[in-house]
Each structure stands twice: as structure tokens, then as C-alpha cells.
Amino acid sequence: MPQTPPFTGQLNAGSYNKNLYQTKEESFPGLYYHDNNLVSGSLEALVHHLVPTVDYYPDRTYIFTFLLSSRLLIHPYELMTKVCHLCMEQQRLGDAQADKIRVRKIAPKIIQLLTEWTETFPCDFRDERMMRSLKELTHRLTSGDEVYRKAVGQMSQGLIRRLTVLSQYEEALVKINATAAERLTALKAKPQAGIQRDMLSICNDPFTVAQQLTHIELERLSYIGPEEFVQAFVQKDPLDNDKRCFSDHKKASNLEAYVEWFNRLSYLVATEICMPVKKKHRARVIEFFIDVARECFNIGNFNSLMAIISGMNMSPVSRLKKTWSKVKTAKFDILEHQMDPSSNFYNYRTALRGATQRSLTANSSREKIVVPFFSLLIKDIYFLNEGCANRLPNGHINFEKFWELAKQVSEFMTWKKVECPFEKDRKILQHLLTAPVFTEDALYLASYESEGPENNMEKDRWKSLRSSLLNRV
């Protein structure tokens, strides 16, 4: 039977050319092309276009694009219901007297479509309604044929394995967060007990810390499903009578967890800088994290780089003027220039293109690493979604928008598949993931305790924080 080739993650600007797949289904009423590229269509026509026939199989870029973006308009389980209905109606799979030769021709193609769906969007099948439809359709396809039964068995096992691994990861995240909360509680109870447990006491090599940060980034990237980018922005479709839009399951939990990791790293850097009592030690910590950030840039880990810069630019850190006067800031200035937000992050986008090109021609696994500044990636997708309507004035689906969404997400799909080549250091990872981090108020208090308030507003805030956090006047 046809095998599912690995998804390349690249969609050409020309998108899907209908001349490559000339079949009856191509001319299904309701599909519209411009320069041989599919640009719009009715939902019914686009669903028909997804379903294989005896002499037609949809282009893989179309499958990915439609499965990804159709959730802006229809629940995945509703799409699966339509696909199952079409398969049974068109191919007479529900008919016990159906032509067995016809079924043998179509079954491998339907199984391949289902395999691509379960491999690329496994989280869709956390919905029991999806699983019921999948089992019903595959049962009809495989009845009486051992070859197809085996293929379906492999597909089902692969899906269960992916969902199990995903659940284990999510459970591990809960445990990590619980440990971090426990350590913070312990620190509040006995502040002096954890005061020396800083990054430099665990590892003073910036390159090693940058490698461990990259481990965390690549692991967390790998568990974000492509559908999360779209489901994070799902809104009520005016033509959909169902008022519940993905309200029955978590839409983008791993994406949200990844954003939370960025925030944690920023606050961890700020905490490590504000924690030391001595100015000389604070300056040394700043210089250390500047070097870590530079190593992240060299690796292609832009997310950790930006998180570190964000931590250093937090007000409680940036106000430590006496500390910064002891720091050689030339390297930091260069990094800030690379991540300068002006001209829509032009410098960063140029560096990202360079890293992406390096990844495409890489001779080693290290050269393949590209960890984008994630918040900006989400922002780009958000504005693409907000800036283009899902439907055209005639009610048809705006498929040009779907192509653009798929192009952005498919590039991410390539980046997230890279395996981290660096050796893990459990102690460093444990610190990065669970070390207590100060709240913004606690950071300000530590900052004022290190370098006193400079004006009346800061003095008032210092007194207020001492009263509320330390129960002192």
C-alpha cells in the first residue's frame, strides 16, 4: 500500500498546482483557481477535494493545509464525520455487496489519508468522537482483508504511542511546575536556606548553560502540535450554528506552556542578578548571562536569547546603575542590536533566515538547530489570521489565507523535529526548570535593597514592599 513520506515542512509559494493532479474531482463544483492555484471554494467542495477516490489522491500540501486551517470553520470531529460519510457513500463501503476490487483500490488511499491525519494531528484524536469515527471507517475498510487490517493496526498503534508520549510529557510538566512551586515556598519560609543556590555555583561555563537551555527549548517545541497555532485564535464562525467552539478540550496547552517557559527564564535571569548582595557578584552574573545569550545566538537558539535579554531589561535589573557600571556591555549591546524590535525585528528576521539556510544545508545536527523567538512567531500568525477573512463575500472559504497559514506553520514543523545533539546535564536542567524565581515585587524589593531608591516614588514603593513582603516598616 502507499507509504506516507516524511513531511518536508516546506510549502512552495506556488502552493498546489491542479495540473499535477488532473482527475474528475479536480473539477468538483465550488472550487476556484487562479493561475492554476486553488484560491477559494465552498466548504463542501474542499471536503470532497480531501477524500481520495479510485484514481485520485490529494496533494500532501493540500491535506496538511486543509486539516490545519479548516478548524477555523469546523470542528475536527465534524470534518471526520463528513470524510467518513463521503468515503462510505462514494465508494459504497457501507454496501456488503460492493465491488471488492473497487474497495481494494480505494482502501489503501483512505488508510494513507487517515495515517497522515493521525501522524500530523494526533491531538485531534483525543476527542472520543474522532476515535469512534476512525474505528468505524477502518473497520469497514478492513473487513475480510488481512493486509489492510495489519496496516490499520500499525496506524492505530502509532497513534496510541504518540498520544501516550504526549500525555507523559504533560504529566512531567505538571511535576516540574509543582517542584518549582515547592522550592519557592521553601525559600519564602527560610530565605537564607536557598540564597547561595545560584546558576554560577552550579555551572560557570556559558556554553554548557546555553546547550542545556537549547535542550529545554527543543523538547518543548517538539510537543507543540501544528493545530495549536490555529486553535489558539479560533473564533465563532458566523455561519456555524454550534456555539461551542473547541470549548470541550484544551486548545493550545503546550503552546501556552512554552510561552510560560520564556517568562520563567526571563524572571530567572532577573532573579539571579538581583539576588546577590555584593555589587561585584551582581556584575559577574550579568556578564555571565551576556555570554550565555551570545552562545545561544551562535547555536541558533533565539528564544532563550530573547528571554535572557528581556530579563536583563526588566526595570528592577536595568535600574542597578552602579552594578551596570562594572559590566563590560559591548557584547550585550551587540545582542540587543540583533534583537532590536525596530522595523518589525528586521535584524532578528535576517539572522533567522541565515540560521534557517544553515539548517537546510547542515552537515551536522548542531547546524540544524533553529529555535525561533516564539512570541514573535505567534504574533505573526495572529496578525495573518486577523488580517485576512476566513470567508470571501460570496461565502466561499478564502483558501489563499489557508496556504499562508500553512506555510508559516510548516516551517515551524521542520524546526521542531530537530533532535538536540548536546549531552544533558541533570543538575543544570533541574536548576533552570525548578529554581525559585522572584515575583516582580520581590525583584523590585531585592533591587532597592541592593541599590537604594533614587527618588520619592521609589522610596514609597520600597517602604510598601518592605511592609507587604517582609512585614517591616
Q: Nearest to residue 50, comparing CAs of 305, 449, 402?
A: 402
Q: Cα–Cα distances in Å, from 174 out to 167, 257, 430, 434?
A: 11, 10, 14, 12
Q: Which residue has the higher pLDDT, 382 or 95?
A: 382
Cell (9 digits) for 80:
471526520
- Residue 208's pLDDT band, with cuts at 50, 70 and 90, is very high
pLDDT for position 241: 45
DSSP string, 262-316: HHHHHHHHHHHHHS-SSHHHHHHHHHHHHHHHHHHHHHTBHHHHHHHHHHHTSHH
Dihedrals phi, psi of 300, to nearest 5 degrees = 105, 15
Residue matched to cell numbers 486543509: 66
The CATH label, of 3.40.50.620, 1.10.3720.10, 1.10.840.10, 1.20.1050.10, for the domain at 194-234+252-438 is 1.10.840.10
The mean pLDDT of 404-415, rounded to a whole number, is 95
Q: Where are the domains of the chain?
A: 32-160, 194-234+252-438
Output the pTM of the full model.
0.88
Residue 14 has pLDDT above 80, yes or no: no
Cell (9 digits) for 358:
544553515
Q: What is the mean pLDDT of the chain?
A: 87
pLDDT for position 57: 94
- Residue 187's pLDDT band, with cuts at 50, 70 and 90, is confident
CB 341 within 8 Å of CB 302:
no
Residue 23 has pLDDT above 60, yes or no: no
Q: Which amino acid is at 346?
A: Y
Q: Cα–Cα distances in Å, from 262 out to 160, 220, 256, 382, 472?
A: 30, 11, 10, 18, 33
Question: Any idea what DSSP says for residue 388?
Answer: S
pLDDT for position 359: 94
Report the distance separating Cα 49 and Cα 41, nearest Å.
10
364 CB neighbour count, 10 Å cutoff: 8
Residue 238 has pLDDT above 60, yes or no: no
Cell (9 digits) for 334:
551587540
Q: Cα–Cα distances in Å, from 198 out to 54, 274, 431?
A: 64, 11, 8
- 181-190, 347-356, 450-459: range with highest mean pLDDT: 347-356
pLDDT for position 98: 59
pLDDT for position 103: 74
Report the distance separating Cα 314 and Cα 309, nearest Å.
9
pLDDT for position 276: 92
pLDDT for position 25: 41
Least confident segment among 101-105, 259-263, 434-438, 456-460: 101-105
Dump pLDDT digits (tens) for 331-346: 999 999 999 999 999 9
CB 288 within 8 Å of CB 204:
yes
Dump pLDDT digits (tens) for 94-144: 565 656 777 778 889 999 999 999 999 999 999 999 999 999 999 888 876
Report the distance separating Cα 238 and Cα 240, nearest Å.
6
Q: Nearest to residue 180, comparing CAs of 454, 438, 459?
A: 438
Share of the chain above pLDDT 90, in %: 74
Residue 242 has pLDDT above 70, yes or no: no
User: Quick one: CATH architecture of 32-160?
Assistant: Up-down Bundle (1.20)
Share of the chain above pLDDT 70, in %: 86
DSSP string, 200-211: HHH---HHHHHH
